[in-house]
Structure 1
Amino acid sequence: MSSKDDLLAQAVENDANYKERLALIRSNDEIDAKLGFVRYTGIQEKKGFLINIQPSELVDEQTKVIVSVVDYFFISDMDERFKISYPFRPYFYIATIDGFEFQVSSYLSKKYGAQTHVEHVEKEDLDLKDHLSGLQKTYIKLSFTSTVELQKVRKDLMPLIRKNTDRIKKESAYADYLARNLGGKGAASSGAEVLDGDILNQIVDIREYDVPFHMRVSIDEKIFVGLWYDVKGVGPNRVPTIKKKDLAFFHAKPKVLAFDIETTKLPLKFPDRESDEIMMISYMVDGRGFLIINREIVSADINAFEYTPKPEYKGEFTVWNEKDETALIRKFFDHFLQVRPNIVVTYNGDFFDWPFVEARAKIRGFNMEREIGFSKDSADEYKSRNCIHMDAFRWVKRDSYLPVGSQNLKAVTKAKLRYDPVEVEPELMCKMAREQPQQLANYSVSDAVSTYYLYMKYVHPFVFALCTIIPLGADDVLRKGSGTLCEALLMVEAFHCNIVFPNKYTGPEETKFSKDGHRVESETYVGGHVEALEAGVFRADIPARFRLQLDALQQLKSEVQETLKKELAREFEVSLDQVVDFDEQCAEVEQAFDGLIAAPTRLENPRIYHLDVGAMYPNIILTNRLQPCAMVNEEICMGCSYNKPDAECKRTMAWEWRGELSEYFYSEVSFSFIKKT
């Protein structure tokens, strides 16, 4: 038997799910190849726009061990597609009682074998009382060949760490002192020899164990979706190289497909995907429209037509009249693979369009995941490995600031695209399919046009701009809450400042009751507020009154020359001797200030027409609340090296506890009466 066969046999023996994982790797490669994404392993440098990221696995050619990789999907300016599988060792940190780091790391190395790499790192820990002085904490970094091994070790350690943490909380410092000095069985002294069975009892904390793998790699390597990169399939160490390329003004053109379906339904019922059928699928691909008709339900053939509600929203539609629902679904899947979109757009597609198409495809003998790669994940969201699903309804709910009653597609079209869409009473749609098929076709394509242009005008630039700073794919940036996005942004900054991530705060597991006996459902602290200067919406075409501060204007006028000098050097890198009309420009600015000083009360059209402080992401993550772990007390202040009588941080702030209480209802209260004799 050859050495490669030996390695393969050993890998299979060590991994019980080796064959299943290998089959999944092959399946993923087949799905990616359908849309043109083939793994690039060449040494020539390619320029690519990063469109998507996905966690994956790959077989190491030398050891035959399955390793974790992140698949980065790129498109070029010439519509070339390729993916890079970037290997990376997933990891987390553990902390021990001071003095036991080397004993614990030695024990873990022996216990978990060669696939686990153990090293010591110094990290800044914000939980240390005196971390502002530069004090750092030693953590043990455990890295693994794949996330499967990471999860196994994490599963072993988590119960031990919880038990050790609870034990330390219960032990008072005085009891521990007596145990050490009087020979009792207390906490082991720092650096003392302990038995192997007691070594794991010295592990007291675990950090960064819940960071998703693809997010972990993007944070560490600073690889973000929505940017251009120079890519090599194999670098000096047989690892792909991905280097950021500064092409800020060179926009990529991903292929976008926006679709909508029309279905049959029973009177006064919501469409049932088990019994109702798809009668139309309308979609737009890069501004070109397509409509597929189910002629088993629609009474007449539909010819090609144009639906252009406004000159800037063009919609010329090619129509295919198919004999039944099976042919309709087959045509949609075939054209999907022919077009090979990078982004699929729907409106509430996670909960209607995709589930309906999937169910009807299954009934007609198709497997949607094998056909086009889309399937439902654990969060009931429809996603694909290489194609992004952008549900525009998620953007409307989180970022459009439209009221709840105005978040359906027709209302959003009126508010954002500024035209009146075609509207049809749902109860009349099946009747129209028989009696007015052309009018129903107009209605169907109007939804596709609205979805496509809403996405292109608002959702696409917004989401992909966020992707350039947040270590997540576009699917997650669209769907995650604002607080989660802020947390991801802070994680990037924390890692590159060598700060270990704090664990998410969780309240006490035991039920808490208020003084009057009510059960506390949730609690927080309320205090600091961010306030807008003035409530309301300001428009550039409506004059507003301004009252200017004379002292501020005088100060700005006196600093004109110094300010312009600094800005010339900082922004334009121009020295003063290179400017020929510096004094004239300064005099012009000073003259403008004189005009403002002469008339400080003004009625003018504002330049900023909408100032919404509540929409700023840093403010959203705070939500005017302070987590209990961020509250400082006298003990923390005493351990701080900045604890001085004149310290400006020693300000008493009015924080209040706020809790939601469970109310008692009459049906939940039982009474007992004692008869008096």
Structure 2
Amino acid sequence: MEEDEFEENVGNNDDFTEDIVASAGLGLSLEKRFERLSQSDRIDQLPEFEERIGWLYNLQPCELFDEERRRFVSALDLYFIGDIGDRFKISVIYPPYFYVGAKVGRENDVDAYLSKRYHNRFLSCDLVAKEDLEKICLTIKKNTPKFFDLDLPNHLAGIQRTFIRLRFHDIDDLIKARKELQPIVKRNAEREKEQQSRPELAVLKRATSSNPSSDLLVDCLSNANVAEKQIDGIIELCEFDVPYHIRVCIDLKINVGLWYGVRGQSKSGPQNQLVLKPDLIEQPEPIVFAFDIECTKMPLKFPTAASDQ
């Protein structure tokens, strides 16, 4: 079974994609992306030991050019008001990612398939343990508390499952991979539903694959069966629709309206770029520019540029 058989064209009907494309600069030419990058002032070049105190008041997704990898990477611009009233911003590089759910016991097969398929497009592919929300909901619905570990601070966190995490250089690569994997998930779900309604198909498939008619048939089907087994193990995609700026803020515990010690880009990772200053509680007085747009329109209709002012 060839991999290309599973690649289908999926319509771009996701609401979150529009926000991602607009904020991350997707769809722009390479020249425009470099021009947009050069117009942004940053203090990322400061040595990591130089620290400034700032009150975070805004953030915006962006992209930077990685000189080492010679490609664009996703980042988050953070805007600060300094302790003396000055304003500055830094860019925090953080790779976007989503999770791939596999059938229980097939995680390594799926991991091997994804590593081979996206080896030149993703940043890393690793196995991680996360809460199995589906099983948690079923357990609560069935009222079976014996599965809960009540000694944990969050007793629901004890029900975990292994996922494959795909981390990418930028949002563009993430969206492309998501579009390629969604048809596979859909097809596997339909196949699983059909097998549940007609279990004799699964028995026939196992009998056919375990009793080939000749050694030549075994050689021909061996590689195809391995690829098919790996692909069939993909059953869901998780957290692919989390907006990039929210993802970074959740993972790095970034909150607007707090004081931070701000450093330049650190070789040890983005976690060391921001140090929360909980002892600073007095807030600055930012200047806020707010405006409203007024226009004419017909009763019970939306404004139109052709007739309204």
- The TM-score with structure 2 as length reference comes to 0.69
CA deviations on 1:42-63 (whole Å, 9 max, x unpaired) are: 1310111111111111111211
Partner of 1:110: 116
- Are 1:41 and 2:45 matched, yes or no? yes
- Distance between the aligned counterparts of 2:183 and 2:36, measured in 1? 35
Distance apart, 1:204 and its partner CA: 0.7
The residue that corresponds to 2:29 in the other structure is 20
- How much has 1:178 moved relative to structure 2? 6.2
| Counterpart amino acid of residue 148 in structure 2 | L
* Corresponding residue number in structure 2 for 1:343: none
* 2:240 counterpart of 1:209: yes
What is the identity, as a one-letter code, of the residue corresponding to 1:83? K
What percent identity do the matched residue pairs reach? 34
Q: Aligned to 1:62, what secondary structure does the other structure show?
A: coil
SS of the counterpart of 2:235?
strand
Please say if residues 164 and 203 of structure 1, whose CA atoms lie closer than 8 Å, have aligned partners that are also in contact: yes
**3-state SS of paired residue (2:189):** helix
**For residue 125 of structure 1, what is the amino acid of its counterpart?**
D
User: Secondary structure of 2:69's partner?
Assistant: coil
Letter in 2 for 1:154: R
- Is the CA contact 2:131–2:160 (under 8 Å) kept in the aligned structure 1? yes
Using the TM superposition, give the Cα deviation of residue 164 of structure 1 relative to its aligned residue in structure 2, in angstroms: 0.7
Question: Contact (CA 8 Å) 1:41, 1:84: kept in 2 or not?
Answer: no
Larger of the two Rg values belongs to structure: 1
Q: Deviations over 1:428-467 (max 9, x none)?
A: xxxxxxxxxxxxxxxxxxxxxxxxxxxxxxxxxxxxxxxx
1:132 equivalent in structure 2: 148
Question: CA 1:212 to 1:271, structure 2 compared with 1: closer, same or farther past 3 Å?
Answer: closer
- Does structure 2 conserve the Cα–Cα contact (< 8 Å) formed by 1:49 and 1:76? yes
SS at match of 2:255: coil
Kindly state the Cα deviation for residue 139 of structure 1 after the two structures are TM-superposed.
Answer: 0.7
When residues 26 and 83 of structure 1 are mapped into structure 2, their CA distance, relative to the original with a 3 A threshold, is farther
**Do structure 1's residue 93 and structure 2's residue 102 form an aligned pair?**
no
Q: How much does 1:157 deviate?
A: 0.3
Aligned mate of 1:255, from 263, 287, 297: 287
Partner of 2:126: 119
Residue 230 to residue 182, structure 1, CA distance change in 2 (3 Å):
closer
The whole-number CA distance in structure 2 between the counterparts of 1:178 and 1:157 is: 23
Conserved? CA contact 2:195–2:201, under 8 Å: no
Which range moves more in the overlay, 74-83 or 64-73?
Answer: 74-83
Offset, 1:112 = 1.1
Per-residue Cα deviation, 1:10-60 (whole angstroms, up to 9, x for no partner): xxxxxxx89824523532552x55xxxx34431310111111111111111
Cα 1:182–1:209, aligned 2, differ >3 Å: closer, same or farther?
A: closer
Give matches, 1:266-305, under 5 Å: none
Conserved 8 A contact 2:109-2:229:
no
- TM-superposed CA distance for 1:180, in Å, is 6.8
Q: What is the aligned residue count?
A: 248
Deviation at 1:169, TM superposition (A): 2.0
Measure, in 2, the Cα distance between the counterparts of 1:86 and 1:211: 18
Q: Does 1:157 align with 2:181?
A: yes
Q: 1:70 aligns with which of 69, 76, 79?
A: 76
For the 8 Å contact 2:61–2:77, the answer to whether it is kept is yes
**Residue 152 (structure 2) aligns with:** none
Name the SS for the 2:60 alignment partner: strand
* Within-5 A mapping of 1:273-672: none
Partner residue in 1 for 2:142:
none
Letter in 1 for 2:98: F
The letter of the residue matching 1:155 is: K
CA positional deviation for 1:68? 0.7
1:227 to 258, 261, 282: 258
Aligned-partner residue type, residue 282 of structure 2: F
The two structures have a TM-score, normalised by structure 1, of: 0.33
Choose between structure 1 and 2 for higher RCO, CA contacts under 8 A separated by at least 6 residues.
Answer: 2
Cα 1:173/1:257, change in 2 over 3 Å: closer
The one-letter code of the counterpart of 1:232 is: R
Change (3 A) 1:21 1:82: farther
Q: Distance in 2 between matches of 1:175 and 1:209?
A: 32
Aligned-residue offset at 1:198: 4.3
C-alpha offsets along residues 487-523 of structure 1, whole Å, 9 cap, x if unaligned? xxxxxxxxxxxxxxxxxxxxxxxxxxxxxxxxxxxxx
Q: What stretches of structure 1 of length at least 5 have no aligned partner?
A: 1-16, 187-191, 277-355, 357-677
Contact 1:25 1:56 in 2 (8 A): no
Relative distance call for 1:213 and 1:238 in structure 2 (3 A) is closer
Distance 1:19 1:156 in 2: 22
Question: Deviation per CA, 1:336-379, whole angstroms, max 9, x where unpaired?
Answer: xxxxxxxxxxxxxxxxxxxx7xxxxxxxxxxxxxxxxxxxxxxx
Alpha carbons of structure 1 residues 154 and 273: separation in structure 2 relative to 1, 3 Å: closer
Distance 1:181 1:157 in 2: 24
Q: CA RMSD in A?
A: 3.5
The CA distance in 1 between the partners of 2:280 and 2:268, in whole Å, is 30
**8 A contact 1:84–1:233 mirrored in 2:** yes
Q: Which amino acid aligns with 1:212?
A: P
Aligned residue in 2 for 1:167: 191
The letter of the residue matching 2:45 is T
Amino acid paired to 2:35? R
Residue 145 (structure 1) shift = 0.8
SS where residue 237 of structure 2 aligns?
A: strand
Q: How far 1:237 moved relative to its partner? A: 2.8
Given residue 278 of structure 2, which amino acid in structure 1 is its aligned partner? Answer: D
Shift of 1:168: 1.1
In structure 2, runs of 5+ residues without a counterpart are 1-25, 140-146, 150-157, 211-221
Residue 243 of structure 1 deviates from its aligned partner by 1.4
- Give the 3 Å change call, closer, same or farther, for CA 100–22 of structure 1 in structure 2: farther
Q: In 2 relative to 1, CA 75–178 (structure 1 residues): closer, same or farther, beyond 3 Å?
A: closer
Cα distance change, pair 79–24 in 1 and its aligned pair in 2 (3 A): farther
Q: Which amino acid aligns with 2:126?
A: E
